[in-house]
Structure 1
């Protein structure tokens, strides 16, 4: 990571926050700073305070201070959740709804004025650039963590993986082919976006120095962010640190994106190494950079 790259990102951040008024205590000309204005928008027709904290990534103390300030201004009220008295729900008052509507109008007018100074081509360039930035920032914000194979996040990901294959494979998919927790002799990884599982994968030992990568999956909402390649690389690195020199994996011929990923990631097609009916195409990769030796048949999973 170059110092110049960091400097350029910081320069963009300074320009962007100044250009859109993020630093002023009167966001869009209202009496509210950006933090309080954003909270009004997020509360909408009512929101669980816990959900607000998770959605905005705010410290509970800071969120409480923001809500208290909006309460004092008569824009927000708090009440107990209908189903759980321990949970608070934030709602907009009549004045809060008027303030939010005014924010929407001012925001629309501001963006219209900005776009009005650009040509049609420049508008398309701006929107495309924003979409690109959002994708890259999403990718950077996703975390990949080792989890216990029996954890809810791990099992949830595998269940979603199986459900998708059930729809995509011509013969369907039997969830009984999923690797049970006690058979995960390597590491299971889960990718999280905003605290929710967005992808997974695991590896198990097949023999001395040989491992198999299984159940590599990325949710539909997180595709196009390079997460599949990232998970694959993390699994390879983790296996290598545990003494693995050769990794194998198999996939179905119907999963063309998986076939492309493995080809592009340096895997070579080998003969059948697994008795799983879903591993129609077998792959192998040497983690030490050498060419893979002739493969023998070993038991494997889907």
Structure 2
């Protein structure tokens, strides 16, 4: 890991005082790239009069893992160069919304062009087969590095982020089981069951976005694992196992000594996960019409 970091940072120019010859250090260039990419991708909130998305400073800080002081210094430097406009957010004036100026958009495009050129120079000596191998290896490395740095956060089950995760989970069930009506969104009473101390709802956060989620709640004295979901792009990175173990640990810390869960026979990946984790088949213990398989596991 350390050898790769040393080799890679040298070859992409991360050690240069002027990253890719732009006249800016890597920190400023990385922030400029993020703002421009989010504007182009439509990930900001409201658009300005020119139709350009703005980016919240808070979102940048969470996505890039920067402390407030360092982010403020980077923003001041780019603003002083005429590349950014900073203004209070129209919905909450305590927050700052950041937009690229016309000069900033030109600088962003120049950075993109230079990055593409550097990548082309690095790949030019490789054969097509070698390039394919490298792309596959980098995809795997990126996924696993991101998985290793995911944060597991207990959140309010009624929060917008939790509800969005549950909505994604239910939409996937609806797509995979078209012969059945998808379960409805949880009611406030349902959500309350996932609040501590007799429950919890957890999201796995990467770059400021939820990539997995799930919860547990009391069910006749056992901790019932519910709503386990992993984003399709994150499957194969061990997120399901990590989330399951985390939920078990939260329940164990509250004195629960038995975990239960249900699933459907068509969800073969979930069944394999649960059985590898030590769950054993039991008789039906609830009236969930979508469930065909029922499991339990001692938590002692």
What range is the shorter-chain TM-score in?
Answer: 0.7 to 0.9
Corresponding residue of 1:238 = 250
Query: Larger Cα Rg: Structure 1 or Structure 2?
Result: 1
Q: 1:180 aligns with which of 190, 195, 199?
A: 190
Corresponding residue of 1:100 = 108
Q: TM-score, normalised by structure 2?
A: 0.79
Q: Kindly state the Cα deviation for residue 97 of structure 1 after the two structures are TM-superposed.
A: 4.1
Corresponding residue of 2:42 = none
1:80 lines up with 2:90 in the alignment:
no
Corresponding residue of 2:77 = 69
Corresponding residue of 1:138 = 146
Equivalent-residue separation in structure 1 for 2:61 and 2:245 (angstroms): 32
Q: 1:99 to 1:154 in 2, by over 3 A?
A: closer
Q: Is the 8 A contact 2:86 2:98 kept in 1?
A: yes
Q: Kindly state the Cα deviation for residue 193 of structure 1 after the two structures are TM-superposed.
A: 2.2
Q: 2:259 aligns with which of 238, 247, 259?
A: 247
Q: Give the root-mean-square deviation of aligned CA atoms.
A: 2.8
Q: Is the 8 A contact 2:155 2:201 kept in 1?
A: yes
Equivalent-residue separation in structure 1 for 2:160 and 2:108 (angstroms): 38
SS in 2 for 1:187: strand
Corresponding residue of 1:223 = 235
- Structure 1 segment 1-302 matched on structure 2, within 5 A: 9-44=1-36, 47-50=54-57, 51-74=59-82, 76-78=83-85, 80=87, 83=90, 86=93, 87-94=96-103, 96-169=104-177, 170-175=179-184, 180-184=190-194, 185-208=198-221, 210-288=222-300
Q: Is the 8 A contact 1:49 1:90 kept in 2?
A: no
Cα deviations by residue, 1:146-171 (Å, 9 ceiling, x for unpaired) = 23444443333333322332332221
Equivalent-residue separation in structure 2 for 1:202 and 1:228 (angstroms): 12
Equivalent-residue separation in structure 2 for 1:213 and 1:85 (angstroms): 37
Q: 1:30 to 1:148 in 2, by over 3 A?
A: closer
SS in 1 for 2:261: strand
Identify unmatched segments of 5+ residues in structure 1.
1-8, 289-302
SS in 2 for 1:175: coil
Q: Is the 8 A contact 1:43 1:91 kept in 2?
A: yes
Equivalent-residue separation in structure 1 for 2:56 and 2:201 (angstroms): 32
Q: 1:232 to 1:33 in 2, by over 3 A?
A: same
Corresponding residue of 2:43 = none
How many aligned residue pairs are there? 277
Q: Is the 8 A contact 1:245 1:286 kept in 2?
A: yes
Cα deviations by residue, 1:54-87 (Å, 9 ceiling, x for unpaired) = 433333332332233233334x141536845944
Q: 1:32 to 1:143 in 2, by over 3 A?
A: same
Cα deviations by residue, 1:258-286 (Å, 9 ceiling, x for unpaired) = 22222222222222121221221111223
Q: Kindly state the Cα deviation for residue 49 of structure 1 after the two structures are TM-superposed.
A: 4.4
Identify unmatched segments of 5+ residues in structure 2.
40-51
Equivalent-residue separation in structure 1 for 2:153 and 2:299 (angstroms): 21
Equivalent-residue separation in structure 2 for 1:89 and 1:62 (angstroms): 16
Q: 1:70 to 1:157 in 2, by over 3 A?
A: closer
Q: TM-score, normalised by structure 1?
A: 0.79
